[in-house]
Amino acid sequence: MTPVTSFKGKTVAVFGLGGSGLASCRALKAGGAEVIASDDTPAKLAEAAKEGFITADLRTVSWENLAALVLTPGVPLTHPKPHWTVDAAKAAGVEVIGDIELFCRERKLHAPDSPFVAITGTNGKSTTTALIAHLMREAGYDTQMGGNIGTAILSLEPPAKGRVHVIEISSYQIDLTPSLDPTVGILLNVTEDHIDRHGTIEHYAAVKERLVAGVQQSGTAIVGVDDPFCAAIADRVAQAGKNVVRVSVKRPVADGICLEGETIVRVDGGARTRIASVAEIGSLRGLHNAQNAACASAAVLALGVSAEVLQKGLRSFPGLAHRMEQIGRQGSALFVNDSKGTNADAAARALSSFKDIFWIAGGKPKTGGIESLREFFPRIRKAYLIGEAAEEFAKTLGDVPHEISMTLEEAVPHAARDAAGSGLTEPVVLLSPACASFDQFPNFEKRGDRFREVARALPGGLTPP
């Protein structure tokens, strides 16, 4: 745990008592603050009370006595409209912050030079975060990984000399972190997502920009420049005097890191140094993962890791569950769990990585549907559509062979049957839904787990990939 001492002797309200909210309560209490825990869900209030925290409906407390409101990232800050607690805090002049802001203040107080790597972007955050953490551990560092990837940041060990924190940060979390100041900040990409929470893509991009704009003066901002938003952000951050490493997997760069064929190359003043071949990294298939690997390489090089250790670490990276996870084979058919593909852009990355695809897609639809995926339709041998988006996706697919399966329990065996009978050299049964999971599953992890279970329960089972 990271005790939060910056509010010692003060009263802080915490609204939203999920994993990060309860971790904030514990960390604040450990640092000497008085905590008022609140949530709209009675069960969450009961859980906090069981741990000994004061619980209350914040409508009934005196806001004049509060030093801050710590808000869970899942609660709207600005769009579609601020949560009532945000309006109440602003009316009382109480700052609204998140758990990562608490961490940043503790780091500034106690270990401002401790390495802090912050990663954001529309897609690829979790893979890049896990890869950097893996590389730093391979290099012998005491490495703490968390944030949006799973473990609440305040549940990690506190900042200290020689200890590196590798933290995935969503746009919601950036919005609640005004003093975000990483040693290394990474912005992978910006495409349309979470517009319901940010209003416009321009505002969404501006929030993302704050992570790399806030890097410490002696730190490094790493920006994937293959989309127009990020290319412009890289220029602005460089003009502000920060050290910027531009990363591209689509075109050469004058200075930075790029992909030449299948080789990640560092370009420095005209000199070119080979980092690694993506063909050597079995867990990082596809152009999108080449970007993840390139940005992770830039990060660990900025922290002083040697090229030799970097190359060894890239080859040994096991990958992440639900992100292009190769779960097994049945005959020649490869089964791939990409349940994390929760929007069209993420699904495009999976679809671009294979040729003969039996595609399982659908769920709770997002803005734009799958219209942007038309260029990949020739790769799809057949689609199996599930969830709320099934009818909509069927209309978009048009002449592409498809069926409305509605559930994974029906889609997986049908896809397996058709892949087995296709006569193709390496058919791929791919779950990459291009949708949120919330119509049928509580999260993408549960959806991916169910896909894995159903696939492994097929007659004959699966063999290792």
352-378 pLDDT, tens per residue? 989 999 999 999 998 889 999 999 999
* Nearest one of 5, 4, 15 to 55, comparing CA atoms: 15
| 251 residue type, one letter | R
Can you give the pLDDT at residue 395?
A: 97
Rounded Cα gap, residues 364 and 140, in angstroms = 42
Q: How far is CA 184 from CA 211, 228, 289, 342, 391, in A?
A: 10, 22, 20, 27, 44
416-435 pLDDT, tens per residue? 999 999 999 999 999 999 99
Structure tokens at 165: 């924190």
Average pLDDT of every residue of the chain: 94
Secondary element (H or E) of residue 146: strand 142-147
Can you give the pLDDT at residue 193?
A: 63
Phi and psi at 187, nearest 5°, equal: -115, 110
Can you give the pLDDT at residue 287?
A: 82
284-327 pLDDT, tens per residue? 877 888 999 999 999 999 999 998 999 899 988 878 889 888 89
Secondary element (H or E) of residue 455: helix 444-456
In sequence order, the β-bridge partners of residue 260 are 263
* Nearest one of 31, 207, 198, 204 to 103, comparing CA atoms: 31
Rounded Cα gap, residues 422 and 233, in angstroms = 46
Can you give the pLDDT at residue 289?
A: 87
**Could you say which residues of the chain have pLDDT below 50?**
none
Structure tokens at 280: 């050597």
Can you give the pLDDT at residue 65?
A: 92
Q: How far is CA 393 from CA 162, 341, 447, in A?
A: 50, 15, 19
* Backbone φ/ψ region at 286: left (φ over 0), alpha (ψ -120 to 50), beta: left
Domain 100-316 indexed as CATH 3.40.1190.10: yes
Structure tokens at 155: 């549940």
Cis (ω within 30 of 0) for the bond into 80? yes
- β-sheet with 325-330: strand ranges across: 325-330, 333-337, 428-431, 357-362, 380-386, 402-406
Give residue limits of the domains in the chain.
11-97, 100-316, 325-456
Distance of CA 157 to the CA centre of its chain: 21
Answer whether 11-97 and 100-316 agree in fold.
no
Task: Please answer whether residues 302 and 118 qualify as being in contact, where contact means their C-beta atoms are separated by less than 8 angstroms.
Answer: no
Can you give the pLDDT at residue 194?
A: 63
SS3 content of the chain, % helix, strand, coil (to 5): 40, 25, 40
Total number of residues shown for the chain? 465
User: Which residues, 6+ apart, have CB-to-CB distance to 435 below 8 Å?
Assistant: 342, 343, 361, 362, 363, 364, 365, 366, 387, 388, 389
- Specify the CATH number for 325-456; select among 3.90.190.20, 3.30.390.10, 3.40.50.620, 3.20.20.70: 3.90.190.20
Can you give the pLDDT at residue 282?
A: 67
Rounded Cα gap, residues 78 and 198, in angstroms = 7
Long-range contacts of 103-106, Cβ-Cβ distance < 8 Å, separation of 24 or more: 103/2, 103/153, 103/154, 103/159, 103/165, 103/167, 104/177, 104/179, 104/180, 104/181, 105/4, 105/6, 105/179, 106/2, 106/3, 106/4, 106/5, 106/6, 106/31, 106/158, 106/159
Locus of tokens 């920009």: 209
Architecture of domain 11-97: 3-Layer(aba) Sandwich (3.40)
Please give the full DSSP string across 206-269, using - where no structure is assigned: HHHHHHHHTS-TTSEEEEE-SSHHHHHHHHHHHHTT-EEEEEESSS--SSEEEEETTEEEEEET
- For 249-284, b/e burial (b = at least 16 CB within 10 A) is beeebeebbbbeeebbbbbeeeeeeebbebeebebb
